[in-house]
């Protein structure tokens, strides 16, 4: 089965690679401490001031059911566009862009990461990249803000 022609920002979480559709990524910033959000339960680390906008930040690992391992020296925050707001996902590090080629296979090998926010896995040149359903993930996060 051939892969879709989208491009993905690839980030690392728990030693695995995850793809985020680039059309939803506004920017990637270095990780920095977040200000706690009083009374906001759930997965949020806190919020940042991002160019005058409030940016709630959640660790991607937590949203995928894994404990976060964020080293401030390597971690990043991926700023996503969702509807008319921004949401931040903290990841262990950014690995670059992936545009699937003809030799890329679309599979459903998700293993321990299997969950509602994973669409499929791309296999290309010895890499395995799990593609996230960012629309579903952002909708779930927005309900908790």
Residues 6+ apart with CB under 8 A from 39: none
Tokens of 47: 């919020």
Match domain 8-144 to its CATH number in 2.40.50.180, 3.40.50.2000, 3.30.2130.30, 3.30.300.30: 2.40.50.180
Q: With cut-offs at 50, 70 and 90, classify the pLDDT of residue 95.
A: very high
> How many beta carbons lie within 10 A of that of residue 108, not counting itself?
10
Tokens of 79: 């700023």
Convert the pLDDT of each residue in 1-18 to its tens digit: 444 558 899 999 988 999
User: How far apart (Å, rounded) are the C-alpha atoms in residues 130 and 38?
Assistant: 33
pLDDT of residue 107: 63
DSSP state string for 11-34? EEETTEEEEEEGGGEEEEEE--PP
Convert the pLDDT of each residue in 25-81 to its tens digit: 999 999 988 888 777 667 888 899 999 888 999 999 988 888 888 998 999 999 998
């Amino acid at each position: 089965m051939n892969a879709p022609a989208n491009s993905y920002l690839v980030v690392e979480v728990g030693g695995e690679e995850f793809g985020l559709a680039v059309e939803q990524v506004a920017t990637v910033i270095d990780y920095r401490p977040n200000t706690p959000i009083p009374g906001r339960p759930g997965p949020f680390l806190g919020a940042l001031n991002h160019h005058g906008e409030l940016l709630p930040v959640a660790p991607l690992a937590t949203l995928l059911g894994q404990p976060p391992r964020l080293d401030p020296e390597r971690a990043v925050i991926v700023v996503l566009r969702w509807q008319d707001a921004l949401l931040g996902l903290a990841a262990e590090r950014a690995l670059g862009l992936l545009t699937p080629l003809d030799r890329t296979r679309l599979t459903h090998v998700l293993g321990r990461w299997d969950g509602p926010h994973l669409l499929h896995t791309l296999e290309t040149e010895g890499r395995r990249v799990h593609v996230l359903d960012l629309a579903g993930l952002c909708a779930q996060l927005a309900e908790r803000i």
